[in-house]
Chains A and B, each alone.
Chain A
Amino acid sequence: MHAPDSPTGFSSPAHAAQLLQGHGYLADQGLATAIYLARVLPQPLMLEGEAGVGKTEVAKALADALAVPLVRLQCYEGIDASQALYEWDYTRQLLHLRAADVREGSGRDIYSEEFLLERPLLRALRSEGRCVLLIDEIDRADDEFEAFLLEILSDFQISIPELGIIHSATPPMVILTSNRTRELHDALKRRCLYHWIDLPEPLREVEIIRTRAPEVTEALARKVVRAAARLRRADLVKTPGVAETISWSRALQRLGTSRLDVGMVRLTMGAALKERDDLETAEGFIEELADLE
C-alpha cells in the first residue's frame, strides 16, 4: 500500500475509500472507483445527486485525504472569467501609474504578476496538481461559462494576453457538482467521468451520521434514519438529504434526548424539512416518525 503522498495518491479504489473514511467520508464502491479513476486517468469527475447527498463534502474530504488545499469555485448565473480565472488589480495599477509619474513610467510593467489577482481556476492551474479544484453547482452558471470551462478542463492551460500562456503539467484533481437544474452540454460531460450519488442505504446512513457527528448515539441515529426514510417516501417538495439527517441528529443530541416522541419530532422537524408545506404534510403522519417504544 502506497503512502498518501505517492504520485497518484491512491493505489486502488479500496485505498481511496479507506483514506476518505479516515477523513470522515464514507464512500461506497462506485464513488471510490470514480475518485480513483479521476485521479489516475486523470479526468475531471462530475458528481450529480439530490441536494444534501454530500457532493461538496466529497471534495472537502478528498482535499484533506490528499493533504492538499481545496480550491472552490462556486458558480452562479452570470459568473464570468474575471471572477473565475483572473482579474487585473485596477486600483493598484492606477496608483502605481500615478506614483511612477515622477520616475519614467511606461504602461508595460503594470501588466505583471504583481498586479494580477488570482481567481480559483488560475490558482488551481498554478498549483501544479497540488490541489483539489471543486467547481460547485456548475448547472447554475450559464452556457457561455460552460464553454469557457470546457477549454480549460481539456487542456489545463489558459492564456493571459498580457502575460502569456500558463500551463499546468500535472493537472489538478477536478470535481464538478451539479444539481440537475438544467441540462449540461454534452461536450462538457464527455470530458468527465460521471457519477450519480444515490441516497445511502439506512445502515450506511447510520454509519455516516456516526462518522460526521460522533457525539450522536447509535440508537438515536437509527431512529432519525428510520424517520427520514419515512419522510422520503412521502410526497414532499424537498426530501431531506443526508446533510439534513445529520443536522437533525445533532439537534436531538444537543437537546439531550434519546427518545424521539411526537412532541420532540414536532419541535425539531425543522432541521430536516425546510418548507412550510412539507411540515404540514409531515404533520399528517407524525406518529409514524416517532419511535413507538
Chain B
Amino acid sequence: MNDGEELFGSLIRFGQYLRTHGFTLGPGRILSYCRAAARLDPTDPVDLYWAGRLTMVDDRRRLADYDRAFSEWFSRSEQEGTAEQGEYVFGGWDDDGAPMGTRTVATTQEVSVVDPSDDGPGSSGPTASEDEILRDKRFDHWTEDDLRRLHRLVANIAVNLPNRVVRRSRPGPSGRIDLRRTVRRSLRCDGEPFHRAFRRRRTKPRRLVLILDISGSMAGFSRPLLHFAYATHRAAHEVEVFCFGTRLTRITPQLRWRDPNRSIEEAASRVVDWESGTRIGESLNHYVRRYGPDSRNRGSVVLICSDGLERGDPAALGSAMDRLSRQAHRVIWVNPLMGDPRFRPLTRGLIASLPHIDSMVAGHNLAALDQMAALLAE
C-alpha cells in the first residue's frame, strides 16, 4: 500500500514537473495519467513514457518538449535515488535545466508584465481635426504620438467581406422544402401538408488572409495593417495573419487578446526577421503549400502588403502567385509605393505577379486604407 502511495506521489510530481515545462495540465489530465499508468507496468519506463505521452500531450508540436522533460525527469530521479526528495529539488531544476519549456512559460509571463495597457484609448480626447490631418499623412511619416491613435482610427474602418454559401441551411421564404417543419405544421391540419416550410442555404463572410511584408523598406506600413487585421478580427470576422521578411510566420494566435497593444507586442515578438531582407517568392510559396490548401483558407480574400522588391527569384514569386490566385477568391496587393503618382510597377517581382492579382491598391495612409476596405466587399 505504501509503495502504491509513493508511486502515485511520483506520478503526480512528474505531472507537476511537466507544468513547469509549459504544459497546461488540469487535475483531470493527471488523474488520467495515473489511471493509465496503473493499467500498465508503472515500474517500466517505456510504459510510463507512453502513459504520460498519451494522456498529457495533445499536440504533436509538444512531443519533443515532452520527450525532453521525460528524459530529464528520469535522469534526475535516478541520480537522486527515490522520488522522495522530488519537491525539494524542484526550484533548482527550473533554473539550470529545462531549456525549451521554461522559456515558453517565461515569455508569456514576461509579456503580460511588460504590457501595462499604457494606451487608454483616447483618454485626453484628440480633436476631430487632428484625425482629419492624419488621414492623408503617409504611415511612415507618423510620429509616436500619432501611432498611439492608430488603433482607434483603424478600428473605425468598416470592413465588409464578400459572402460565400455554406453547407448549412436556415428557414427561409423559399428554397428547398423543409420536411421537418412541414410535418410539424401539418399536424395542426390533421396531417395535411397545407403550410409548407422552406430552407435556404446560409451564407458566411469569407475569410480574410493578410500576408504582411515586414522587411526594412516596409516596416512603417506593416504596423498599421497589422492593426487593421486586429480590428477586423475583433469585429468578429475570420482573419488569418502572416508576416514575412525572409520567412513566413503565422501570427494569428497572438492577436487574440482584448488589448490591442498586447496583441501586437506578442505578434511582434513571434517574428524573428523584423526589418530584414525580403524573399517574397519563398515566403508566399511556403504559404500556398502549408496554409493555402487548408479548406478554410480556400476561397478567402487574400491581402498581400509588400513593395514587391524581391531579392529572390522572380519566377518563384510568379509561380507562387499563380497558385495563390487559384486558391483564393480574390488577391489584392497593397503597395504603399503606389501612393506616389510617379510609381510604375516595373520591378521584376511585380511584373511576374501582376497577371495573378485582382487589384493593386496603395494603402499608404488612412484614406487609402478606407478605399481598400471598400474594395474588399466586391
Residues of A contacting B47 in the complex (Cβ-Cβ under 8 angstroms): 33
Is B29 on the interface with A (CB-CB < 8 A)? yes
Of the listed residues B29, B51, B54, B166, the one surrounded by the most CB atoms of chain A closer than 10 A to its CB is: B54
Interface 0/1 of B52-74, CB less than 8 Å to A: 01110111100100000000000
- Listed A/B pairs (21) with beta-carbon separation below 8 Å: A33-B50, A33-B51, A34-B54, A37-B39, A37-B51, A41-B35, A76-B167, A80-B168, A90-B180, A90-B183, A94-B183, A94-B186, A94-B191, A97-B186, A97-B187, A97-B190, A97-B191, A98-B191, A186-B58, A190-B26, A195-B54
B50 partner, pick from A29, A43, A182, beta carbons under 8 A: A29
B167 surroundings in chain A (CB, below 8 A): 76-78
Nearest CB in chain B: distance from A155 CB, A: 15
Interface contact B179-A190, CB-CB below 8 Å:
no
> Is there an interface contact between B55 and A193, defined as CB atoms closer than 8 Å?
yes
Which residues of the other chain, B, contact A13 by a CB distance below 8 angstroms?
40
Chain B nearest CB from A278 CB (Å) reads: 11
Q: Does B75 contact A (CB under 8 A)?
A: no
Answer yes or no: A210 CB below 8 A from chain B CBs: no
Minimal beta-carbon separation of A238 from chain B (angstroms): 9
Is A93 an interface residue when CB atoms closer than 8 A count as contact? yes
Chain B residues whose C-beta falls within 8 Å of the C-beta of A36 in the assembled complex? 39-40
* CB neighbours of A94 from chain B (8 A): 183, 186, 191, 193
Render B5-39 as a binary contact track against A, CB cut-off 8 A, 1 for contact. Answer: 00000000000000000001010110010011001
Across the interface, which residues of A come within 8 angstroms of B51, CB to CB? 33, 37
**What distance in Å separates the Cβ of A195 from its nearest Cβ neighbour in chain B?**
6
Contact partners of A237 in chain B: CB under 8 A: 289, 293
Beyond A77-B295, A196-B63, is A34–B183 a contact (Cβ under 8 Å)? no
The reply to whether B193 and A46 contact each other, CB–CB distance below 8 Å, is no
Interface size in chain B (residues, C-beta < 8 A): 38
Complex alpha-carbon distance, A105 and B189, angstroms: 13
Contact B168 A78 (CB under 8 A): yes
B46 at the interface (CB under 8 A from A): yes
From known contacts A43-B32, A88-B180, A190-B58, infer whether A33 and B40 are also in contact, taking CB-CB under 8 Å. Answer: yes
Which chain A residue has the least Cβ–Cβ distance from B193? Answer: A94
Bound-state Cα–Cα, A41 to B32, Å: 9
Contact A140 B295 (CB under 8 A): yes
A91 with B58, Cβ < 8 A, contacts A40-B39, A77-B167, A190-B29 known: no
- Check A41 against B57 for contact (C-beta < 8 Å): no
| B191 pairs with A41, CB closer than 8 A | no
From known contacts A33-B40, A190-B28, infer whether A182 and B296 are also in contact, taking CB-CB under 8 Å. yes
B288's closest neighbor in chain A, by CB? A237
Q: How large is the interface on A (under 10, 10 to 19, 20 to 34, 35 or more residues)?
A: 35 or more
B294 at the interface (CB under 8 A from A): yes
Q: Do A193 and B295 touch (CB < 8 A)?
A: no
Query: In chain B, what residue has the closest Cβ to A79?
Result: B167
Leading 3 A-B pairs by shortest Cβ distance: A78-B167, A97-B191, A189-B58
B237 to chain A, nearest CB (A): 16
User: Which single residue of chain A is at the shortest CB-CB distance from B28?
Assistant: A190
Could you say which residues of chain B place their CB within 8 Å of the CB of A76?
167
With a cutoff of 8 Å between Cβ atoms, the chain B residues found around residue A30 in the complex are 50, 53-54
Which A residues lie within 8 Å of B168 (CB)?
Answer: 78, 80
B148-183 interface mask toward A, CB cutoff 8 Å, 1 = contact, 0 = none?
A: 000000000000000000111000000000011011
- Which of B54, B166, B294 touches A37 (beta carbons < 8 Å)? B54
- Kindly state the separation between the CA atoms of A188 and B315 in the bound complex, as whole angstroms: 44
What B residues does A88 contact at CB under 8 A?
180, 183
Residues of A within 8 A of B191 (CB): 94, 97-98, 100-101, 105
**Cβ of B166 and Cβ of A77 under 8 Å apart?**
yes
Which residues of chain A come closer than 8 Å to B53, judged between CB atoms? 30, 194-195
Is the Cβ of B36 less than 8 Å from the Cβ of A90? no
Q: Can you name 5 extra interface pairs (CB under 8 A) apart from A36-B39, A94-B186? A: A34-B54, A41-B36, A94-B193, A100-B191, A195-B53
Q: Does A230 contact B (CB under 8 A)?
A: no
Which of A40, A41, A182 is B294 in contact with, Cβ under 8 Å?
A182
With the chains together, A41 CA to B51 CA distance in Å?
12
* CB within 8 Å of A: which B273-300 residues: 289, 293-296
Cβ contacts under 8 Å, B294 to chain A = 181-182
B243 to nearest A CB, angstroms? Answer: 19
Q: Which of A107, A192, A193, A196 contacts B60 (CB 8 A)?
A: A196
